């Protein structure tokens, strides 16, 4: 079992490319899992400034094939050539997978350092993958560890007390460029009903804004405002709301982009200036809107440029927490992988014991002599397995599980079944006895009533 991730973010590629890569993002995991056996699990994290795919491959030898399968699927949905798709992604394996995701979840890789929304997006990405059956056990543990790390960073560093986010920085910019910085006197029109729209309404309310009109081309505005506040507007009501608005915010990412001519038409007769904040990755507003004389356009690029730098000590502390958490996660993964070797050794030894006991039963039947022999042999097996089991875990902690597996194969001819690694079933296998066969397969009292004497 090997984890890998393909990462395309605002740090490496422009946001337009990120948006194009993200087309069809919800379908990528299920399609890859259905079409390719080198991918055994996948989770997609798609936000306003990143598109990342976390996957599990059966072994190191399958990593490149798994990456190629994911790239091919993204190319098919996005319409971008496979070569360009491959060039847009950085690939992580090993501890780097956990370290990157943990940093992302903690807001350390965001345009606004320490932002809050990304932690919720990481949780939702896992929930969606679990709902579709695409998340493997290792990926579930990875994303759960990322959420825990994000909480630790928020609780143990100064980043958690600052409360900055992409939305908050965008609204700060909006207030700075307005003729009146008082949000309580502003009329706002909001496009969208997703997570960012919800965060935007909350941030507007924190600033005292109460005049919030919400429009959704999907018809979900009524349900949205029922739980978050604001006023739902229909397509018929939208022009009038836009005409009197001081601020228009786009969070929908719909295909129906608003251009400069649309703004001019609905604003005809208005003498006030307008602030347009476009938080959609694929842009709700045509960039030409910013060329209008009375319009100030704020985009994700504007937010990234204006995001304040965090204090060096808080970032250092947060990065240390992330690295420690990633190292701990990788050690646990290694130990889980070693469990397969332990199970294989136990099953091998138990099989030898059962073979010997079958011979004893064939000669003596279910007698007290057989009872004594079995009890002695089982105690012997436990003693024999103790040191190899302890040593296996020590080697796992040192990252030398392959040495252990090679020794099992060289000494016993045991082929460790990696596909069974690290799940609850492995522990059950470790404690279960192989089924007996042959004429003595009927239940024998010595199997259920061991002698009551000291070991």
Q: Count CA within 13 A, CB hemisphere, residue 275.
A: 22
359 lies in the same domain as 375:
yes
Q: Is residue 249 part of a domain?
A: yes
Q: Is residue 431 part of a domain?
A: yes
183 lies in the same domain as 111:
no
Instruction: Write the CA distances from 139 to 49, 55, 73, 145, 395, integer angstroms.
Output: 22, 7, 20, 10, 24
Question: Is 48 marked within a binding site?
Answer: yes
**Whole-number pLDDT of residue 422:** 42
Question: Is 192 marked within a binding site?
Answer: yes
Q: Provide the residue range defining the domain that includes 228.
A: 166-306
Question: Is 46 marked within a binding site?
Answer: no
Last residue in a domain, options 132, 162, 192:
162
Is residue 209 flagged as an active site residue? no
Whole-number Å distance between alpha carbons of 337 and 315? 33
pLDDT tens digits along 264-293: 999 988 888 999 999 887 788 999 999 998
**Whole-number pLDDT of residue 199:** 85
28 lies in the same domain as 122:
yes
| Overall size of the chain counted in residues | 455
Rg of the chain taking only CA atoms, in angstroms: 30
Q: What is the CATH number of the domain that holds 225?
A: 3.40.50.720
Q: What is the CATH number of the domain that holds 57?
A: 3.30.460.30
292 lies in the same domain as 149:
no
Which string of b and e fits 37-59 if b means at least 16 CB within 10 Å?
Answer: ebbbbbbbbbbbbbbbbbbbbbe
Nearest to 263 by CA among 209, 189, 211: 189
Catalytic site residue from 48, 209, 251, 444: 48
Q: Is residue 420 part of a domain?
A: yes
144 lies in the same domain as 196:
no
Question: Is 179 marked within a binding site?
Answer: no
Question: Is 110 marked within a binding site?
Answer: yes
**Whole-number pLDDT of residue 433:** 40
Q: Is residue 315 part of a domain?
A: no
263 lies in the same domain as 403:
no
The contacts of residue 143 (CB under 8 Å, 6+ apart) are 43, 54, 101, 122, 123, 125, 126, 135
118 within 8 A of 102, measured Cβ to Cβ: no
278 lies in the same domain as 422:
no
Q: Is residue 325 part of a domain?
A: no
284 lies in the same domain as 341:
no
Question: Which residues of the chain fall below pLDDT 70?
Answer: 160-164, 254-255, 307-312, 363-370, 372, 376, 418-455
154 lies in the same domain as 7:
yes
Last residue in a domain, options 133, 162, 191:
162
Alpha helices, DSSP H, located in 295-400: 300-306, 312-364, 368-397
159 within 8 A of 153, measured Cβ to Cβ: yes
**Whole-number pLDDT of residue 370:** 66
237 lies in the same domain as 181:
yes
The contacts of residue 431 (CB under 8 Å, 6+ apart) are none
Question: Is 197 marked within a binding site?
Answer: yes
237 lies in the same domain as 275:
yes
Last residue in a domain, options 135, 162, 189:
162
251 lies in the same domain as 264:
yes
Q: Is residue 443 part of a domain?
A: yes
Question: Is 302 marked within a binding site?
Answer: no
Q: Is residue 369 part of a domain?
A: yes
What's the total number of domains in the chain? Answer: 3
Q: Is residue 321 part of a domain?
A: no
Cα angle, residue 64 at apex, residues 61 and 68 outer, rounded to 5°: 145
Which string of b and e fits 315-342 if b means at least 16 CB within 10 Å?
Answer: bebbbebbeebbeebbeebbbbbbbbbb
Whole-number Å distance between alpha carbons of 229 and 99? 38
């Amino acid at each position: 079992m090997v984890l890998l991730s393909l990462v395309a973010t605002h740090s490496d590629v422009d946001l337009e490319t990120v948006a194009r890569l993200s087309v069809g993002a919800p379908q990528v995991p299920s399609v890859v899992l259905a079409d390719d056996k080198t991918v055994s699990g996948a989770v997609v994290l798609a936000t306003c400034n990143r598109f990342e795919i976390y996957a599990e491959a059966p072994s190191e030898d399958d990593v490149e094939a798994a990456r190629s399968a994911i790239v091919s699927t993204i190319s098919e949905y996005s319409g971008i050539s496979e070569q360009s798709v491959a060039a847009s992604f950085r690939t992580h394996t090993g501890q780097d997978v956990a370290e990157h995701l943990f940093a992302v979840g903690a807001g350390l890789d965001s345009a606004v350092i320490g932002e809050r929304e990304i932690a919720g997006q990481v949780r939702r990405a896992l929930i969606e993958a679990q709902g579709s059956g695409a998340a493997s056990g290792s990926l579930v543990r990875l994303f759960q560890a990322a959420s825990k790390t994000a909480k630790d960073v928020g609780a143990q560093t100064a980043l958690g007390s600052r409360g900055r986010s992409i939305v908050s920085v965008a609204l700060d910019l909006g207030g700075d460029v307005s003729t009146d910085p008082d949000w309580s006197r502003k009329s706002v029109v909001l496009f969208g009903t997703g997570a960012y729209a919800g965060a935007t309404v909350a941030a507007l309310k924190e600033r005292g804004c109460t005049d919030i009109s919400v429009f959704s081309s999907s018809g979900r505005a009524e349900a949205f405002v029922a739980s978050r506040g604001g006023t739902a507007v229909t397509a018929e009501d939208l022009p009038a709301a836009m005409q009197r608005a001081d601020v228009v915010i786009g969070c929908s990412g719909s295909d129906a982009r608003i251009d400069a001519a649309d703004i001019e038409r609905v604003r005809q007769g208005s003498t006030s200036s307008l602030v347009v904040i476009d938080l959609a990755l694929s842009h709700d507003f045509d960039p030409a809107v910013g060329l209008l004389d009375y319009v100030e356009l704020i985009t994700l690029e504007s937010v990234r440029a204006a995001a304040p730098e965090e204090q060096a000590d808080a970032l250092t502390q947060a990065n240390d927490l992330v690295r420690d958490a990633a190292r701990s996660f990788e050690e646990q993964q290694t130990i889980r992988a070693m469990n397969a070797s332990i199970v294989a050794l136990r099953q091998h030894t138990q099989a030898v014991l059962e073979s010997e006991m079958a011979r004893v039963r064939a000669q003596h039947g279910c007698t007290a002599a057989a009872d004594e022999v079995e009890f002695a042999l089982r105690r012997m097996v436990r003693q024999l397995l103790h040191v190899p089991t302890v040593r296996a875990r020590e080697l796992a902690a040192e990252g030398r599980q392959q040495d252990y597996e090679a020794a099992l194969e060289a000494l016993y001819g045991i082929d460790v079944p990696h596909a069974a690694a690290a799940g609850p079933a492995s522990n059950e296998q470790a404690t279960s006895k192989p089924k007996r066969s042959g004429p003595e397969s009927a239940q024998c009292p010595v199997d259920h009533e061991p002698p009551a004497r000291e070991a």
